[in-house]
Structure 1
Amino acid sequence: MNMQNRAAPPIPKARKNNEVNVAFEDKAKDIVRDAMRAKGVSVDQLTARLALIGVEMSSGGVANKISRGGFSSAFLLQCLAAMDLEIRVE
C-alpha cells in the first residue's frame, strides 16, 4: 500500500465541547450522586469504601471526579461496587 495515497487522520476535537459527551457525563455524575444519596454515603465514606476494593484516592480526588463527571466507566462501576450496587442488563 502506498503511504502517500493514505487519507490523513481526522482532526481530533475536544471531547468536552461535544454536546453528546456532556449529556452522558452529566448522566454518569447523576448516577453516582443518586446512588450516594440512596445509600446515605458521603464522599469520605465512598472514598473509604473505594479503598477497601483497592481504589486509592483522596476524598478531594473522588469529589472532583464526581463533580466533573468526565470519569471512566471503570470508575463508575467501582463506585457502584463500593456501594454494593450493580448494573444489570436483562
Structure 2
Amino acid sequence: MTLVKSSPPPKAQPRKDAPINAEYQEKAKVLLRDMIGGDYAMLAEKLNAMGIEISVRGLENKISRGGFSAAFLLQCMGALDVSDFCVPQDESL
C-alpha cells in the first residue's frame, strides 16, 4: 500500500486583518468617543468602580486603537448608563 502525501491546507487569514474591520473599528472608536465626550478620566473612574481596572492612559490607548472587544464596549456603555445609541453612518470613515 502506497501512501499519497497531500499538500498542507492553505493558511487561514485572520479575520481581524480583513479591510472591512478597519472601517468598523473606526466606527466603534467614534461611537465610544461620542459617548464619553472626551472625558476619559470619568470613564476610567466608572470602569474601575465596576471592578474593571484600567488607567486613563490605558483607556485612551485602547480607544484610539479601536480594536477593543464588544464586551469592552458593553462594559463602557454600562458604566455610562447608555442604553440607546446609533452607529455612526458617516461614509468618510
Instruction: State, as a whole percentage, how many aligned pairs show the same letter.
Output: 37
Higher relative contact order (CA 8 A, sep 6+): 2
Structure with bigger gyration radius: 2
Measure, in 2, the Cα distance between the counterparts of 1:9 and 1:54. 42
Task: Kindly tell me the number of residue pairs found equivalent between the two proteins.
Answer: 81
Deviations 1:6-41 (A, max 9, x none): 96253334734x22000010011011011112xxx6
Give structure 1 stretches of 5+ with no counterpart: none
**Correspondence for 2:83:** 86
**Correspondence for 1:76:** 73
Give structure 2 stretches of 5+ with no counterpart: 86-93
Q: What letter is aligned with 2:13? A: P
Scaled by the length of structure 1, the TM-score of the pair is 0.75
Scaled by the length of structure 2, the TM-score of the pair is 0.73
Measure, in 2, the Cα distance between the counterparts of 1:46 and 1:13. 31
Aligned positions of 1:4-23 closer than 5 A: 8=9, 10-13=11-14, 15-16=16-17, 18-23=18-23
CA RMSD of aligned residues (A): 2.5
Runs of 4+ in 1 over 4 A off after TM superposition: 4-7
Q: What letter is aligned with 1:70? A: G
Measure, in 1, the Cα distance between the counterparts of 2:80 and 2:29. 15
Q: Specify which structure has the higher proportion of helix.
A: 1
